[in-house]
Structure 1
């Protein structure tokens, strides 16, 4: 697969400025709402206004972390993760394809999307599974109700222990969403706490997906307000964009209320789906993915990619690039789990893929030559703009032209290099 040059992705200047100005205004507003404005009014003339650093970079960090593995019962998996436009990487993960012992045919995977720092996400990625297993509800009998209870208890215990560490280490501001799956020989258990999401594809269609926990959801909003909070700008107290998370203890101080009744609840929503031979693949991903692509689009895209690519890490990388090119400004992390029934490599699909890439290369060359003939500078953005308005048959479903942007960029640079004037070798001419 062709890859884009690192310098080829840039946020348009007006978008970058809009993002920065919006972040500055919103941050200043909420800072004032907590007393910051009053403090600013009392500053002396010689004191400078506090500069709030932007959470976004001028260019995205495109380096990707990838991981792959398999379980003895036929599961294969891969992870892909990228910092992207965010100033810091706050995503963590946990991949355990085999739990071991009497649970050797069980698997656990989770994505942790941290906010206000990465510390809580890192801590939970190291301790959540241990607390789930320590609850005692998971065993070879595979009782769905016991397992669901064990998962919930594991989350609550993780949050409880985290609170002790947070008070000692000063982590009160940090938190993390979690989406996890526990796969047994007979069931797939889903646990979601926040706005990361899991999606199961069966027979080529979305079979199940978790529900995001947002403050404006009716039941979540009711709990928030009952705990003394409010929802404005679709955020808790105008600040936090998720209504369930581990950590975030500054939102968990309401007296005479259980942990699950606080403004931010650490209780996951746990669901169970009976396994089927028709199960193809399962995705766990942070909101950096779901902000730009729907369940159905991602299901169709991965289903298509698995027919032309055997490296699951490459599939994850393609999903990350697709989300980036669709406009994701967040960290992007995805775990792809493939069951024995996943789509297999197809000769016909490979042939169609090769034809598509040849077509795109010829289209890029055609557009490049047309721009040159009109006396226009054939910049990459100009080529992409023309190509985006062109009907291209055979594009990957769910991905569209954005999913082949790396191929297009590679073809563009080939054209640019081919049109460069030849520079004579001075030493050869001299000799």
Structure 2
């Protein structure tokens, strides 16, 4: 018998390795190439799926159109090769190809006409070891309407916030109520959304300083993370150690940085402003380096409501233009991130959304899992979905076809080889 040759076919940038007698190599390659051209030709004309208008919320003015995943092409080629194997009895094929990730559309198709379909849910729990609840959250899927503004943009306008209080709940409650109001009252919103959001953090901090000067019982502080969706633009503003993580086709993308003393950039800023880090605490007192409030703690903030000390309320902003690859956003207080890594949380939430496609249940699932993992802090989570459909499966089974020669096939092949001598 002739020595077997290995044939490798590049199919949509994936290797297709075939072990077969060299006499049949040319035929096999031709069939695979022909099928590749056929699939590419028919894909753009027949393989489309449109969501019907009754499945799209009223606020959305466009219908999503997605091409059928290219996995169908792999299946068609698999069936073709399997048929070829059994039609020519006596040929041994070992066919393996890895479909670890379904091919994705090229960058030129990403997000040009994409309009996010917003669905959100939230859940909170006092936690396993805390005597009182100091985490607060807000979800406003229709932010402009909820705050009496005329919608001047095409697409969603949403606001979400998580506030993790310390030393009491007053600062968290104050920020949760006033921060979105300062945004809504700014004439620059929504056209200057980044400037407006950053300004709202500082205004909220100054307003709380005045409130504390009139009522010492309000003395407390809070971290704050706000996320806004304005059309396709996602804006995340963070001051503290709450975190926002975006799921982009299964990959976790941090949309905020944790402001803790261990961060080198924060340490440099603190030391430049006259502060110091002691045992991973700001001035030996706070475990975060940015927060609203805490005006009662000497040496952390400037006097008379000025924000010029080592502890600042200035948020760090991150923005992103959403595309149809962006599936959902997780916003959580640090009690969640004490027991979840960003990618771990995305993987967990993605599986839950594939099961029930409910952001409220997904938020609850995250909190319950954090409790099982013995998180010691208060817990608050918001899950914001950008699609009406659940996240699609990224992994497909890797088919492996084995063929063995029958006695009849062995005889035919031996006869063929003898004729070639």
Shorter-chain TM-score range: 0.5 to 0.7
Matches within 5 A, 1:284-363: 284-340=331-387, 343=390
2:268 partner SS: helix
Query: 2:220 matched to which residue of 1?
Result: 174
1:283 maps to 2:330: yes
TM-score (norm 2): 0.61
1:107 maps to 2:158: yes
* Deviation, structure 1 residue 192: 0.5
Q: What RMSD, in angstroms, separates the aligned Cα atoms of the two structures?
A: 2.4
Distance in 2 separating the partners of 1:171 and 1:218: 34
For structure 2, list consecutive stretches of 5 or more residues without a partner in the other structure: 1-56, 61-116, 397-421
1:127 maps to 2:178: yes
2:227 partner SS: strand
For structure 1, list consecutive stretches of 5 or more residues without a partner in the other structure: 1-69, 350-431
2:126 partner SS: strand
* Deviation, structure 1 residue 197: 0.4
1:72 to 43, 59, 63: 59
2:133 partner SS: coil
User: Contact conserved, 1:310 with 1:345, CA < 8 A, in 2?
Assistant: no
In our comparison, the structure showing a higher alpha carbon Rg is 2
For each residue in 1:317-366, what CA deviation from the matched residue of structure 2 results, as whole angstroms up to 9, or x when unmatched?
Answer: 211111111120000100000111652599x99xxxxxxxxxxxxxxxxx
* Deviation, structure 1 residue 239: 1.6
Matches within 5 A, 1:47-66: none
User: Contact conserved, 2:239 with 2:315, CA < 8 A, in 1?
Assistant: yes
Query: 1:118 matched to which residue of 2?
Result: 169
TM-score (norm 1): 0.60
Query: 1:9 matched to which residue of 2?
Result: none
User: Contact conserved, 2:162 with 2:333, CA < 8 A, in 1?
Assistant: yes
* Deviation, structure 1 residue 116: 0.4
User: Contact conserved, 1:223 with 1:262, CA < 8 A, in 2?
Assistant: no
* Deviation, structure 1 residue 72: 3.1
1:210 maps to 2:259: no
User: Contact conserved, 1:278 with 1:341, CA < 8 A, in 2?
Assistant: no
Number of aligned pairs?
A: 273
Distance in 1 separating the partners of 2:332 and 2:220: 20
Matches within 5 A, 1:13-412: 72-73=59-60, 74-84=117-127, 85-98=129-142, 99-100=144-145, 101-103=150-152, 105-139=156-190, 142=191, 146-171=192-217, 173-249=219-295, 250=297, 251-254=299-302, 259=307, 261-340=308-387, 343=390
Q: In structure 2, do the counterparts of structure 1 residues 215 and 173 end up closer, same or farther at CA, with 3 Å as the change threshold?
A: farther
Runs (4+) off by over 6 Å: none
- Between structures 1 and 2, the one with greater helix share: 1
Distance in 2 separating the partners of 1:173 and 1:310: 41
User: Contact conserved, 2:239 with 2:259, CA < 8 A, in 1?
Assistant: yes
User: Contact conserved, 2:135 with 2:380, CA < 8 A, in 1?
Assistant: yes
* Deviation, structure 1 residue 169: 1.1
1:102 partner SS: coil
Distance in 1 separating the partners of 2:264 and 2:253: 25
User: Contact conserved, 1:201 with 1:207, CA < 8 A, in 2?
Assistant: yes
Distance in 2 separating the partners of 1:180 and 1:326: 26
